[in-house]
Structure 1
Amino acid sequence: MVAQTQLPQLSGTSFDETVKMAITTLTANKLRSLLTMLGIVIGNASVIAMVGIGQGAQRLAAEQFESLGPNTLFVLPGTPEERSTSFDFTRTLVYEDALAIAEQVPAVQAVAPQINLNRVITYRDKNTNDPVVGTTPDFLSVRSFKVARGRFISDLDLERNNRVAVLGAEVARILFDEGNPIGKRVRVGAVSFEVIGVMEQKGSFLGEDQDNRVYLPLTTMANQVVGRTSPFGLEVTIISVSAKDEKSVSAAQFQIKNLLRLRHKISGEDDFEVQTQKDILQIVGTITGGLTLMLAAIAAISLLVGGIGVMNIMLVSVTERTQEIGLRKAIGARERDILVQFLVEATILAAAGGAIGTLVGVSGVLVVGALSPLPAPISPVAIVLAVGVSGGIGLSFGVFPARRAARLDPIVALRTA
């Protein structure tokens, strides 16, 4: 149905009049205009939401790594290639390596080697299958953990291979509900341990619950739970290290590498890796940044589809309004007036869709932030970019229909109508 638009003398049509006429034309076909804007709305909302969620993931990872302390380093066994391609990589670190780092590296303040594996933990008729960590007393200071009740592992526990255990907050809740587990005995696999402490709730770290762990003396873990698996000493899964201060991190990393190369008699590629908190955060940031960019690119396709929808509807509008165009040109409208008229209509559709899409996208980010641990920040850059792109798409995709309308011969247009 042809929109009925008042036709003033257009030989000198002002821009205000052009905008009013465009709004009148678009509101005459409300449903069609709304459906045309839908693609732009979805595109804008998707881009803003994906960028916000991606930045939230990066910020959450940064906050979690900062909770470790800026001075933390991690010594990992095997090469990076082995760890990324196989779960059965060479276990090259031993307890004696950790002792050597603590004694011979000047830039190091504390060292906490770990043996990690999963075991079934049982108390009476309750059980849970969770990670078990064999470690040393320095674990608390290196990893910034605290004990809520009882005590942590002591040097005496290590020397005597004592069968004592410290429960994570979640393990204590599962096995003992609200009861006091101190002094009770739990089974880790087939071995019985006395509970001497319960850890303070720590929360998740990169998606892993840190409260569902059980901590044992490293020597007890190696000798009575795992068994000796290396002829060179007590094999460990990872060695956590804290430098004396933030300025000492690089020195500690360099000194640890040199010491372990000497101890392992390495002349070629290292069979270990020393990572700082900054190194790991950079890796995580690269991954989350890449995912954010990929999701934003996918969402941006919706903007392209929306632009095609705008062009399609404007072409239909040109066909429907042939008589109006011929009449306006017959009474003095110039090609530039007709061109501007259709470009303004296309731009209004895209800009309105962009504004609505921005509101939807921002609302989505706020909902995600409220219902999840993600900070989910609002990105002003993403908003400006999405709205600017949507307006640009309306202008760009409106050019072809507008030029087609502007070049209609008034005589032919009136006859065709």
Structure 2
Amino acid sequence: MSRLLSLTALAWRTLLQHPLQTFLSTLGLVIGVASLVAILSLADGLEEFAREQISSTTDLQSMYVDAREYEMVDGVAIRRDSAVVFGDAEVAALVAHLGPDVRGGLRQSRSVLVEQDTLRTAARLHVAQPLIWELAEVELAAGRSLTAEDSNAVVVSAPLAERLGGAEAALGQRFSVGGQEAEIVGVRDEETPAVYGAWALAAPEASTLVLHVAQAENVSETTDRVRAWLDEQFPQGAEGFTIATDEMRTEQLAKGMLIFKLVMGFITGISVVVGGVGVMNVLLMTVTERTQEIGIRKATGARRRDIVAQFLAEAVMVSAAGSAVGLLAGLGIVFTAVPIIRSLADDMPFRAGFSLGSLLVVAAVAVLVGLVFGTYPAWRASRLSPVEAIRRD
């Protein structure tokens, strides 16, 4: 321990004696580490924000079963001749098979024509059975949500309500949705033209079977049981269906963000490597300048490993200093960037994330860059002959 402390102190004194060289050798490393810290912190914040959005808009206790309408043949998507269309019978049979802790319902989405007097526009129609609307938690600008007693009642989005005179004025109005008469009972606060209706407005086409499990920890087991039931009930088996859960979406998000961070980390890692090359070049110049000093040390008993240890210590110190400054610079970039991102995104509640893993990466970079790029200068210094080193000008 005392040897390590003495090496560190010697390396620090040497670096302070050559401030300009130390600054130039760390400049590239500072830029690389600052970029790495900024990207990792912003990416962590983006992942956290996305997870919060998924948690607030999805239900981890639900799963969604869809019949595959297409199959891949030699890389070409071919429409199936007879895709399964779920109905009340299939829902009842599956729920009975799964037990009392599971409830089920159907939902369907399609594009329709919305008409009323002079109004004629396209919108996305989302219809569902009562269970789905019971589970949905949405913010309404006016009116009420759909209930099990509703048949031709609908909730419209804000853009449609504006074309009907505003949120309050739209309540109670009737119009044609996909050729069927419907009455507006609520207005949803969202940006896209959409209509949400009771199951009476459904069309005889493919629907999504939604299953709600009482306990979120049982979703995985229930998914396996659903696959087994599909294998028993349909000729194409479970392979003819897709089963998705919101937990899967969260996992897909995590994988996507990991790939993003790896790619961006690799790109910014190039800057760190360039900084490491700068450290090596400056250390090589230092070896040349301090040739006589090295010769005197070897002549007075210093071994090769002592010279190697000294220059490696200096390399690690330079890298650590550059990484520390880069860390502070990266944090400064993040704190500057977050308010800008919020202002450009309409005050979106985005914040940076500072994980322990990111800080450990920075610490590892400091040590690795110093060791990797300091090895050759240290080896070269240790190979100098004491006699020739002392005689050299």
Shorter-chain TM-score: what band?
0.7 to 0.9
Tell whether the 8 Å contact from 1:72 to 1:142 is kept in structure 2 after alignment.
no
**One-letter identity of the residue aligned with 1:308:** V
From 357, 372, 377, the equivalent of 1:396 is 372
Q: SS state of the match for residue 74, structure 1?
A: strand
**One-letter identity of the residue aligned with 1:313:** V
Shift of 1:367: 5.4
Q: SS state of the match for residue 209, structure 2?
A: strand
Please report the RMSD computed on the Cα atoms of aligned residues, expressed in angstroms: 4.1
Tell whether the 8 Å contact from 1:365 to 1:377 is kept in structure 2 after alignment.
no
**One-letter identity of the residue aligned with 1:141:** E
Alignment partners' CA distance in 1, 2:160 and 2:31 = 44
Call closer, same or farther: CA 1:180–1:105 in 2, change over 3 Å.
farther
Shift of 1:272: 1.4
Alignment partners' CA distance in 2, 1:301 and 1:353 = 15
Alignment partners' CA distance in 1, 2:101 and 2:9 = 75
Alignment partners' CA distance in 1, 2:381 and 2:102 = 77
Query: 2:172 is matched with which residue?
Result: 183
| Higher mean displacement: 33-42 or 347-356 | 33-42
Query: 1:215 is matched with which residue?
Result: 196
Query: 2:208 is matched with which residue?
Result: 238
Tell whether the 8 Å contact from 1:339 to 1:402 is kept in structure 2 after alignment.
yes
Alignment partners' CA distance in 1, 2:244 and 2:251 = 11
Q: Deviations over 1:26-72 (max 9, x none)?
A: 31x2xx53343233223323443444444444444443444433321
Query: 2:14 is matched with which residue?
Result: 22
Shift of 1:376: 3.8
Give the total of aligned pairs. Answer: 375
Gaps of 5+ in 1: 1-12, 202-208, 223-233
Query: 2:109 is matched with which residue?
Result: 116
Query: 1:360 is matched with which residue?
Result: 329
Alignment partners' CA distance in 1, 2:201 and 2:28 = 63
Query: 1:272 is matched with which residue?
Result: 241
Tell whether the 8 Å contact from 1:354 to 1:386 is kept in structure 2 after alignment.
yes
Alignment partners' CA distance in 2, 1:33 and 1:130 = 64
Shift of 1:249: 3.4
Query: 1:377 is matched with which residue?
Result: 353
From 135, 138, 142, the equivalent of 2:131 is 138
Query: 1:151 is matched with which residue?
Result: 144
Q: SS state of the match for residue 250, structure 2?
A: helix
- The answer to whether the aligner puts 1:305 opposite 2:274 as a matched pair is yes
Shift of 1:286: 2.9
- The answer to whether the aligner puts 1:198 opposite 2:187 as a matched pair is yes
Call closer, same or farther: CA 1:272–1:369 in 2, change over 3 Å.
farther
From 249, 266, 271, the equivalent of 2:219 is 249
**One-letter identity of the residue aligned with 1:318:** V
From 264, 280, 288, the equivalent of 1:319 is 288
Shift of 1:283: 3.4
In percent, how many aligned pairs have the same letter? 27
- The answer to whether the aligner puts 1:78 opposite 2:58 as a matched pair is no
**One-letter identity of the residue aligned with 2:197:** L
Alignment partners' CA distance in 1, 2:123 and 2:336 = 32
Query: 2:31 is matched with which residue?
Result: 42
- The answer to whether the aligner puts 1:284 opposite 2:253 as a matched pair is yes
**One-letter identity of the residue aligned with 2:380:** R
TM-score, length-scaled by structure 2: 0.75
Call closer, same or farther: CA 1:123–1:38 in 2, change over 3 Å.
farther
Shift of 1:383: 0.8
| Higher mean displacement: 363-372 or 305-314 | 363-372
Call closer, same or farther: CA 1:166–1:318 in 2, change over 3 Å.
same
Q: Deviations over 1:79-130 (max 9, x none)?
A: 8976xx8887555333333455456653455434222234576789898865
Q: Deviations over 1:384-405 (max 9, x none)?
A: 2322322231133112112323
Q: Deviations over 1:143-167 (max 9, x none)?
A: 3335453233455554xxx3x4312
